[in-house]
């Protein structure tokens, strides 16, 4: 579902008219989600007072038949006097409000506004860190023995007689069983990757600032307010200085041989940007696709279209038809160097040259193939040459 989101800020010294607000909100196509700091107070979002701006917002909401998602929780903390208010509003159509969940986080972090999270109840995709092989704690000796003594690796003639797809699946299952037994995987976690500059100093400073804020919320005394400000400033300073130090140390280690990919990866880690390797949706022919199968079909159709004859010139198509209609001499092709069988040395060289990148969908990293015993490598070589 397409959603038009507009973020609005009305400064306290500005006084837009009701017509201007109606015109502004009306320019946003439906379905729309209007969020922002309106600096307005009204009892309908459970403010303690009503202001002129709050009355204008109320009339505009009624005229445009919008719903307000706020549930009365405060959204801003005034560090000058310790007061709290609900001036950050979230507006949308009534049919949209049914599927949206509105939540205010209890911590201020580095702002005077509490973070607001809006979730679609019908479509949630949590950030999950997939379990990975614990390669550094692997028992490679028993891993090799397990595969070496497996009956499949000994009876190569039997495995070579079955279907090629079943042959590959059986081979991969043997390696996976050995890995599950002697390598193991990390536990599934919903936590975000750790920031490289986050350390005990940051953690303690933030913990003390949170504790001081909770104390002030319970006991709004003149002493607790400056204590909270002091500890929050210390936490901000600790995070700022550790982030700067981390960046300086990284930049000092960059040279002309540093891969550009490693540089961008560290930039994202320091800034807190999270990588989502999964494609969540694709716009295709005017519609949004969210199903993995639909996305794969859309990508396949696009690639097929761009590689079809429609993209070729007439001269190329003519030459293509001529070449395709020319009979091939398979006897000559069999003797061509490109059809020679792969040798064990070539296989070993390729495995040694390959880096330990992320495993492909079969979840078998290159290092598993490098660690294979000799009889398993010979079987793998025969499978390649089938």
Asked whether residue 356 is domain-assigned, the answer is yes
Q: Which residue has the higher pLDDT, 81 or 276?
A: 81
Q: Are 231 and 209 in contact (CB under 8 A)?
A: yes
Examine the domain organization and report whether 52 and 180 are in the same domain. Answer: no
Asked whether residue 125 is domain-assigned, the answer is no
Tokens of 237: 């300073």
Asked whether residue 48 is domain-assigned, the answer is yes
Examine the domain organization and report whether 180 and 301 are in the same domain. Answer: yes
Position 89 pLDDT exceeds 80: yes
Closest CA to 118 of 96, 133, 145: 96
Examine the domain organization and report whether 71 and 168 are in the same domain. Answer: no
Asked whether residue 330 is domain-assigned, the answer is yes
**pLDDT score at 50:** 93
Tokens of 381: 């070589």
Q: Are 88 and 75 in contact (CB under 8 A)?
A: yes
Per-residue CA distances from 307 to 113, 310, 311 (Å): 52, 8, 7
When pLDDT is averaged across residues 46-51 and rounded to a whole number, the result is 90
Asked whether residue 154 is domain-assigned, the answer is yes
Q: Are 170 and 201 in contact (CB under 8 A)?
A: no
Tokens of 259: 């891969």
Examine the domain organization and report whether 205 and 261 are in the same domain. Answer: yes
**pLDDT score at 127:** 47
**pLDDT score at 186:** 81
Dihedral angle sign, alpha carbons of residues 153, 155, 157, 158: negative
pLDDT band at 18 (very low <50, low <70, confident <90, very high): very high
What CATH number should be reported for the domain holding residue 107?
3.60.10.10
| Residues 6 or more apart whose Cβ sits within 8 Å of residue 93 | 30, 31, 32, 65, 66, 67
| Count of beta carbons in the 10 Å neighbourhood of residue 315 | 8
Position 212 pLDDT exceeds 60: yes
Q: 99-117 burial, b if ≥16 CB within 10 A, otherwise e?
A: ebebebeeebeeeeebebe
Domain boundary among 271, 291, 306: 271
Examine the domain organization and report whether 163 and 215 are in the same domain. Answer: no
Domain of residue 209: give its range.
Answer: 200-271
Q: What is the mean pLDDT of the chain?
A: 85
Round the CA-based radius of gyration of the chain to a whole number and report it. 31
Examine the domain organization and report whether 337 and 252 are in the same domain. Answer: no
Query: What are 297-321's pLDDT values in tens digits?
Result: 999 999 998 888 888 899 999 998 9
Q: How far apart are CA 386 and CA 345, in angstroms?
A: 17
Query: Residue 193 in 3-state DSSP?
Result: coil
Query: What are 331-384's pLDDT values in tens digits?
Result: 655 566 777 888 999 999 988 887 766 666 678 988 999 999 999 998 888 888
Examine the domain organization and report whether 147 and 224 are in the same domain. Answer: no
Q: To which H or E segment does residue 337 belong? A: none
Query: What are 105-155's pLDDT values in tens digits?
Result: 988 887 899 999 998 765 544 445 568 888 888 999 999 999 999 887 776
Examine the domain organization and report whether 78 and 205 are in the same domain. Answer: no
Dihedral angle sign, alpha carbons of residues 171, 173, 179, 182: negative
Asked whether residue 277 is domain-assigned, the answer is no
Query: What are 170-183's pLDDT values in tens digits?
Result: 889 999 999 999 99
Query: What are 215-265's pLDDT values in tens digits?
Result: 888 888 888 888 988 998 999 999 999 999 999 999 999 998 898 988 988
Asked whether residue 156 is domain-assigned, the answer is yes
**pLDDT score at 126:** 47
Examine the domain organization and report whether 184 and 207 are in the same domain. Answer: no
Query: Residue 361 in 3-state DSSP?
Result: coil
Domain boundary among 68, 95, 120: 120
When pLDDT is averaged across residues 280-293 and rounded to a whole number, the result is 81
**pLDDT score at 277:** 56
Examine the domain organization and report whether 342 and 227 are in the same domain. Answer: no
Alpha helices in the chain (DSSP H): 18-26, 52-64, 94-97, 140-148, 151-154, 156-160, 164-182, 200-218, 224-252, 260-271, 292-306, 314-325, 330-334, 344-353, 366-370, 374-385
Please confirm whether the linkage preceding 31 is cis (ω < 30° from 0): yes
8-state DSSP, 7: E
**pLDDT score at 192:** 53
- H helices then E strands: how many in the chain? 16, 10
Examine the domain organization and report whether 17 and 108 are in the same domain. Answer: yes
Q: How far apart are CA 218 and CA 224, in angstroms?
A: 10
- Any long-range contacts for 245-252 (C-beta under 8 Å, 24+ apart)? 245/197, 246/196, 246/197, 246/270, 247/197
Overall number of domains in the chain: 3
8-state DSSP, 357: -
Q: Return the residue matching tokens 């509105």.
A: 102
Q: How far apart are CA 273 and CA 213, in angstroms?
A: 27
Position 96 pLDDT exceeds 50: yes
Q: Strand pairing partners for 9?
A: 37
**pLDDT score at 124:** 47
Examine the domain organization and report whether 172 and 294 are in the same domain. Answer: yes
Asked whether residue 328 is domain-assigned, the answer is yes
**pLDDT score at 1:** 63
Domain boundary among 252, 271, 290: 271
Q: Are 114 and 104 in contact (CB under 8 A)?
A: yes
């Amino acid at each position: 579902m397409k959603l038009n989101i507009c973020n609005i800020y009305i400064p306290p010294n500005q006084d837009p008219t009701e017509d201007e607000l109606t015109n502004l909100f009306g320019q946003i196509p439906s379905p729309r989600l209007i969020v922002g700091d309106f600096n307005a107070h009204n009892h309908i979002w459970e403010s303690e007072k009503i202001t002129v701006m709050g009355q204008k917002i109320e009339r505009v909401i009624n005229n445009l038949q919008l719903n307000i998602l706020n549930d009365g929780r405060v959204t801003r903390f005034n560090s000058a006097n310790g007061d709290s208010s609900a001036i950050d509003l979230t507006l949308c159509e009534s049919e949209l409000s049914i599927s949206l969940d509105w939540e205010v986080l209890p911590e201020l972090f580095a702002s005077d506004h509490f973070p607001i999270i809006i979730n679609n109840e019908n479509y949630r995709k949590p950030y999950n860190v997939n379990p990975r092989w614990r390669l550094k704690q692997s028992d490679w000796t028993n891993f090799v023995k397990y595969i070496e003594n497996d009956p499949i690796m000994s009876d190569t003639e039997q495995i070579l007689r079955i279907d090629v797809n079943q042959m590959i699946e059986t081979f991969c299952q043997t390696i996976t069983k050995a890995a599950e037994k002697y390598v193991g995987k990390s536990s599934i976690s919903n936590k975000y990757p750790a920031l490289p500059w986050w350390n005990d100093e940051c953690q303690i400073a933030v913990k003390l600032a949170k504790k001081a804020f909770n104390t002030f919320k319970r006991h709004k005394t003149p002493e607790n307010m400056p204590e909270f400000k002091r500890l929050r400033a210390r936490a901000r300073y600790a995070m700022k200085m550790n982030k700067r130090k981390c960046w300086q140390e990284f930049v000092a280690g960059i040279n002309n041989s540093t891969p550009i990919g490693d540089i961008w990866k560290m930039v994202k880690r320091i800034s807190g940007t999270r990588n989502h390797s999964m494609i969540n949706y694709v716009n295709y022919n005017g519609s949004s696709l969210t199903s993995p199968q639909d996305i794969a079909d859309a990508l396949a159709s696009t690639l097929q279209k761009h590689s079809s004859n429609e993209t070729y010139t007439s001269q190329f198509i003519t030459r293509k038809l001529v070449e395709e209609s020319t009979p091939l001499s398979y006897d000559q092709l069999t003797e061509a160097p490109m059809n020679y069988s792969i040798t064990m040395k070539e296989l070993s060289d390729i495995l040694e040259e390959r880096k330990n990148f992320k495993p492909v969908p079969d979840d078998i990293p290159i290092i598993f193939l490098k660690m294979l015993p000799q009889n398993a490598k010979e079987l793998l070589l025969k499978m390649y040459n089938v």
